[in-house]
Structure 1
């Protein structure tokens, strides 16, 4: 054994924090998109909506 006692609560919390950070990094790679990508998708969606509305017939 090592000579110094350790705080088990602190060790458990540190271990959980590392696990949560790893999970967050994995989710960021899997689901994350940059702000530029989000704004580009929004602009494309708005453009498609405007184009569709321009082709509507008035009743």
Structure 2
């Protein structure tokens, strides 16, 4: 036998943590954006909305 004594409960919990971390990383890569990216997109949308409103014709 090559290894020492292994605590099965700790090994099971470590494996579960690793699986959750891998799934979280996968979801972040698929769906996630950084806070800076969200802020930039929101600023761009606000700027575009403002620019559109500035070019509207009045309802007179």
TM (norm. structure 2) is 0.71
1:23 alignment counterpart:
23
Q: How many residues align?
A: 59
Deviating beyond 6 angstroms after TM superposition, the runs of 4 or more aligned structure 1 residues are none
- Output the CA distance in 1 between the equivalents of 2:36 and 2:3: 53
Q: Unpaired segments of 5 or more residues in structure 2?
A: none
Q: CA RMSD in A?
A: 2.2
- SS, match of residue 6 in structure 1: coil
**5+ long unaligned stretches in structure 1:** none
- Alpha-carbon shift at residue 57 of structure 1 (Å): 2.3
Q: Distance in 2 between matches of 1:10 and 1:57?
A: 69
Q: Give the superposition deviation at 1:42.
A: 0.7
Q: Secondary structure at the match of 2:6?
A: coil
